Structure 1
Amino acid sequence: MSKFRWNYRSIVFLLSVLDILAILVIYPAKSQAELPKSDVSTIEVEKNKAPEAVVNQTVNTLIAPVTLKKAPNDLRDRVTPVSQLLQVAPPTNKKAPNNAAGQTTSVSQLSDIKPTDWAFQALQSLVERYGVIAGYTDGTFKGDRSLTRYEFAAGLNAALDRLNELIATSTTDLVKREDLDTIKKLQEQFSPELAQLRGRVDSLETRTAKLEATKFTTTTKLIGRVQIVASELLAGNNVVTKRPAPNNVTLQGSTSLRLNTSFNGKDSLGITIGGGNIESLGQTKVESSLLGTYEGRTADNSSITFARNTLILSGVRYRFLPFPNTQVNIYPLSDGASEIGLSGPVNPYFESSSVTGANGISRFSRRSLVYNYGDSGPGIAILQGLGKQLQFGIAYSAPNGGNPTTNNGLFTGRYLALAQLIYYSGNRNFRVAATYVNTYSPSRTLGFSGTNFGPAVGSNLVNSTVDGVATLGNLYGLQAFYQVNSKLAINAWVSYGVHRYLGRGDGEAMDWAVGLAFPDLFSEGALGGVLVGMEPKLISLSRNVDLGKGLGQADRDTSLHVEAFYQYKIGDNIEVTPGLIWITAPDSDASNPDSLFAWVRTVFRF
């Protein structure tokens, strides 16, 4: 039979149980001012007499299951019976006379108890206040003697009997006068603080009432972004006219407002409204554009199909979770591949969205060609989690799906069908995605980017098709991302596409890139980025197909895209991003001199 090492500690524990039960059972209906003062809270334990390890050992022993059975013979030979060790006073709400035989009514009657003993106050409360401890018949308590489970059970039973009596009689004399006096003094002492707290609560109630009266909605959050861009073409020719392009400094801007609404906490309705006048330095392949090519096309520019400085609806998307690991996106108007979670995971530092704004400067640095053929438009995307490390996604979009005319519509016009599998490492620092896209465009139909077919980045030939002929494309992409550490990340991709000019022949397209990102570069929250790659180019063409440079003529040379930027945060809502884009052999033609762009973007978020 195990023993308690310290009898005093058992007394403290017993008193704690009694006080807690009394507070929980007897006093909830009374006011806080009537709660009895706990004697245990006033005990000051000396370290040399009540070490923490011993207290923990005692408590652990107390909460162990107790089996009340007859002790083994060898233990009975060494332990005095409970009836002789501990006399338990019968339950009563009256104090017995001091001369009552066998009854201890004051702790002073125990000859071996001194006021300096560390458990004196606890023992005094159990004897004089609750009347559940009597001591030995010789007038001693023997506080340093070992206690058996039997002895403790007897004492606890007496305490519970006393508690039941208090409940039955609703004793009202347990609240001491000094307790009430202490509470009154505390109220007077902290009256200034209480008054100040009352005033602050009243002020908060007033402000809350005003907010509730003027709130826009309880379910919608507004996210705003304003961009101001200063840019200049430092060097380069128009690849169509072969003449030097003007190098004027420009100052332009755009605004985007995003409304995010949730109806049940598990869905999201996003509406994007925006407009501006930012002109891309590499915009289209026509002679009237600055460079006459899509290479170096910046990503912050406004759509060329809408008038400048016109506020337009640029994105509508509803997202919900029909199952815990399934996300469904329905979009009458898509904000791009990153908006529905396709390209962002494998290029998080260069990619952007209509909500968060820009990171990389160019359209090419943000995503590979497999994500760019579909353009914007209505569609649906489903992302399915396969365990903790795989995600499968499918998407279908039709750039002209809202147009009911011939060769347009959701299923009879231009479309893109995508399937993608992403693998995440256990710590999600490494990710790799394999993507397949099937895309189709009827003849003489244009998307929002102004192209009939192609990625709207890269050379002119890769964005060309045969006049009057529909075009079909099969695209394959492999993208990877690795977070080396908190200060360095690497991303890379390679993409390959086959263009089939129906009834005429085929062409092959390709692009690749390697990027380095430097989070918190020189400053917390800052971001540095460097990317080198080959923008999409036509690497081969059937001999009987002419896309503008002669039968069977594909791009002759390789054009390299080199981009660097540094995004510096000014507070939480402002960031400034200067950057450069250098294009060698523009339009994949070594006869064209290199192009160099300077771009400074300032973003305000609210």
Structure 2
Amino acid sequence: MVAPITLASELPPDNQNQSEFSAEQLAQVNSVSQLSDVQPSDWAFGALQSLVERYACIAGFPDSTYRGHRVMTRYEFAAGLNACLDRLNELIATSTTSLVTQEDLATLEKLQAEFATELATLRSRVDTLEAQVVELQANQFSTTTKLNGEVIFTVAGVLGDKAADQDGNPDNNPNLEDNFILSDRVRLSFDTSFTGKDLLRTRLQARNIPEFQGRVTGTRMTRLSFAGDEDNQARVDELYYYFPVSDRLAVTVAPIKIELDRIVKTQSPFKSTGSGSISLFGRHNPIYRVLGGTAFGLNYDLNEQISLNLGYTAADAQNPEQNNGLFDGNYNAFAQLFFKPIENLDIGLTYVHSYYAGGGNTGVNITGGTGSENARRPFGNVATSANSFGLETSWRISPKFILSGWAGYSIAESKISDDEADILNYAITLAFPDLGGKGNLSGFVFGMPPKVIQSSQTEDENTSFHIEGFHRLRITDNISVTPGLFVIINPEHNDNNDNIYVGAIRTTFTF
């Protein structure tokens, strides 16, 4: 009698790195001759062919081959032989021994002896795999959650003579705080999916990267895209749940602060703070940063070319006091129409209505902290509303060249007077993916940070320009280094201010 063998078929060693097939992809084969890459030149072929045709005990792949048009290896043959051994063991165990002839048993014993080494190797490999599976199941983090991490080390500094201010006398400007710094940002994201199509993201963050504004440079135009300083105290800085309602409609709910670029498409190749532009202004249109907070968003695809984004954010939704809460405090209501008129060309038309109660910790911040102080608060820190309009485009001219840009226009109104102000910003960006190697990215940004071009109070007299260049160098799949430099010409839209240069070397680790 054939000794019972409890082995499962396994890929041979030289095929382990090939893509796997599911059980549904396997098709039953009733003859060895159907396996096109098995050569019928050895005695064992005929013996196994006879067993397969009699007991239907081997499975091949949909194209009736063993992963390629080549001679069947001894390991593959042993896997097929093992399948026949399992089949005959099953017949014997169910007391249908009359179906198994003594001649076939003798053939199997001969085949077992011939392929004893290969069968033993299969046994060892299967045992090892089973042990690894048990270990993974016992120590897996979660069946529904994946941990993603990002760590940034940066060396950065500002260069120039004097810090900026808004008056017309450069003689009283303070000296620029130009000491170089070494700092970090750490993010751990727990991405959970319950259906395979939804996403619950919980992100922890700790960082100590200075903003390069205020007393350092005197202007918010010099802010880094990845800056923020909480003395490396870890906190939940992002929490949202995205889920599809249908094939066309998806919903995003965020109980704590979230930026609009998590809900809508920005058409910018530089929006990532870990791998995109060095500057905050260079990420995308400032219209997406006018007010972050608790958010609710809807994304509806009208067809493959057109989609509509609707949403609402509240800055202090968790606060029940007067002039706060979900509907009584600072808020945004936004809409964006995204469409693709031709292949590789994306266009977004954006509208945002904002209201700021003024005062308090949040205050008025019409431009998302990237323009002049006058553009940020054209009437001071008083109750203000704004209607903002944006145009965003991105054209992938070739796989290695992307031309993008945006323009943003805001009309601000004071809620305590009849004062109004018009605020404009724009930018053109050039992206060169894979320049010098796969995974690299070279970028160039030229634009004008938000500027008050017309006001019943104070207009920005001159014009600032933002000029930036950076190159992300991919060292490995998990490490990249991005040196970058940008200059602000006439900071605060005041040509009495000296130009300010900001340089950084950002090293990003992902896992």
Where on the TM-score scale, by shorter chain, does this alignment land: which range? 0.7 to 0.9
Say if 2:267 is the partner of 1:267: no
Q: Determine the C-alpha separation between the residues in 1 that align with 2:246 and 2:257.
A: 23
Q: Which residue of 2 aligns with 1:507?
A: 421
Kindly provide the amino acid, as one letter, of the partner of residue 194 in structure 2: F
After the TM superposition, which residues 403-482 of structure 1 pair with which residues of structure 2 at under 5 Å, given as runs?
403-425=319-341, 427=343, 429-447=344-362, 451-467=364-380, 469-482=382-395
How many angstroms does 1:217 deviate by? 1.5
Q: Which residue of 1 aligns with 2:272?
A: 352
- CA distances 1:515-574 after superposition (whole Å, capped 9, x unpaired): 0000001111100000100011111111xx3xxxxxxx2101111100111001111111
Q: Which residue of 2 aligns with 1:574?
A: 479
The answer as to whether partners of 1:482 and 1:491 remain within 8 angstroms in 2 is yes
Kindly provide the amino acid, as one letter, of the partner of residue 347 in structure 2: V
What 5-or-longer segments of structure 2 have no aligned partner? 1-29, 35-47, 56-95, 166-171
SS at match of 2:127: helix
Q: Which residue of 1 aligns with 2:306?
A: 390
Q: Determine the C-alpha separation between the residues in 2 that align with 1:465 and 1:225.
A: 37
Q: Determine the C-alpha separation between the residues in 2 that align with 1:445 and 1:498.
A: 23
The answer as to whether partners of 1:525 and 1:569 remain within 8 angstroms in 2 is yes
Say if 2:287 is the partner of 1:370: yes
The answer as to whether partners of 1:577 and 1:600 remain within 8 angstroms in 2 is yes
TM-score after normalising by structure 1 = 0.66
Say if 2:241 is the partner of 1:318: yes
SS at match of 1:295: helix
TM-score after normalising by structure 2 = 0.77
Q: Determine the C-alpha separation between the residues in 1 that align with 2:153 and 2:100.
A: 74
Q: Which residue of 1 aligns with 2:435?
A: 521
After the TM superposition, which residues 183-202 of structure 1 pair with which residues of structure 2 at under 5 Å, given as runs?
183-202=108-127
Say if 2:460 is the partner of 1:555: yes
How many angstroms does 1:461 deviate by? 0.4
Q: Determine the C-alpha separation between the residues in 2 that align with 1:246 and 1:469.
A: 31
Which structure has greater strand proportion?
2
Would the alpha carbon gap of residues 467 and 338 (structure 1) be closer, same or farther in structure 2, given more than 3 Å must change?
closer
How many angstroms does 1:495 deviate by? 1.0
The answer as to whether partners of 2:258 and 2:295 remain within 8 angstroms in 1 is no
Q: Which residue of 2 aligns with 1:292?
A: 218
Q: Which residue of 2 aligns with 1:301?
A: 227
Q: Determine the C-alpha separation between the residues in 2 that align with 1:340 and 1:517.
A: 23
SS at match of 1:365: coil
- CA distances 1:72-95 after superposition (whole Å, capped 9, x unpaired): xxxxxxxxxxxxxxxxxxxxxxxx
How many angstroms does 1:406 deviate by? 2.1
Q: Which residue of 1 aligns with 2:91?
A: none
After the TM superposition, which residues 5-20 of structure 1 pair with which residues of structure 2 at under 5 Å, given as runs?
none
1:534 corresponds to which of 437, 442, 448:
448
Q: Which residue of 2 aligns with 1:483?
A: 396
Q: Determine the C-alpha separation between the residues in 1 that align with 2:486 and 2:471.
A: 12
SS at match of 1:366: coil
Q: Determine the C-alpha separation between the residues in 2 that align with 1:310 and 1:379.
A: 24
- CA distances 1:246-302 after superposition (whole Å, capped 9, x unpaired): 221110001111111111222111111101100122x34xxxx21111112111111
The answer as to whether partners of 1:452 and 1:465 remain within 8 angstroms in 2 is no
Greater length-normalized contact order (CA 8 Å, ≥ 6 residues apart): 2
The answer as to whether partners of 1:267 and 1:318 remain within 8 angstroms in 2 is yes
- CA distances 1:178-197 after superposition (whole Å, capped 9, x unpaired): x7666544432322122122
- CA distances 1:386-430 after superposition (whole Å, capped 9, x unpaired): 111001001100112222222111100001111000112453x11
Say if 2:304 is the partner of 1:399: no
Q: How many residues align?
A: 420
After the TM superposition, which residues 145-160 of structure 1 pair with which residues of structure 2 at under 5 Å, given as runs?
none
1:495 corresponds to which of 400, 408, 429:
408
- CA distances 1:342-377 after superposition (whole Å, capped 9, x unpaired): 32xx11x20126xxx331111111111211111x21
Kindly provide the amino acid, as one letter, of the partner of residue 301 in structure 1: A
What percent identity do the matched residue pairs reach?
Answer: 32
SS at match of 1:323: coil
How many angstroms does 1:175 deviate by? 7.4
Q: Determine the C-alpha separation between the residues in 2 that align with 1:478 and 1:530.
A: 19
SS at match of 2:135: helix
How many angstroms does 1:455 deviate by? 2.0
Q: Which residue of 1 aligns with 2:278?
A: 361
SS at match of 1:577: strand
Q: Determine the C-alpha separation between the residues in 2 that align with 1:383 and 1:203.
A: 47
User: What CA RMSD, in Å, does the superposition of the two structures yield over aligned residues?
Assistant: 2.5
- CA distances 1:470-501 after superposition (whole Å, capped 9, x unpaired): 10100011110000111100101111110101
How many angstroms does 1:205 deviate by? 1.2
Kindly provide the amino acid, as one letter, of the partner of residue 473 in structure 2: Y
Q: Determine the C-alpha separation between the residues in 2 that align with 1:256 and 1:604.
A: 10
Would the alpha carbon gap of residues 394 and 248 (structure 1) be closer, same or farther in structure 2, given more than 3 Å must change?
same
The answer as to whether partners of 1:333 and 1:378 remain within 8 angstroms in 2 is yes
The answer as to whether partners of 2:434 and 2:440 remain within 8 angstroms in 1 is yes
Would the alpha carbon gap of residues 246 and 467 (structure 1) be closer, same or farther in structure 2, given more than 3 Å must change?
closer
Q: Which residue of 1 aligns with 2:69?
A: none
Choose 185-194 or 528-537, whichever is displaced more.
185-194
Say if 2:192 is the partner of 1:278: no
Q: Determine the C-alpha separation between the residues in 1 that align with 2:474 and 2:257.
A: 29
After the TM superposition, which residues 64-103 of structure 1 pair with which residues of structure 2 at under 5 Å, given as runs?
none
Q: Which residue of 2 aligns with 1:246?
A: 177
SS at match of 2:382: coil
Q: Determine the C-alpha separation between the residues in 2 that align with 1:181 and 1:578.
A: 72
Would the alpha carbon gap of residues 480 and 381 (structure 1) be closer, same or farther in structure 2, given more than 3 Å must change?
same
Kindly provide the amino acid, as one letter, of the partner of residue 162 in structure 2: N
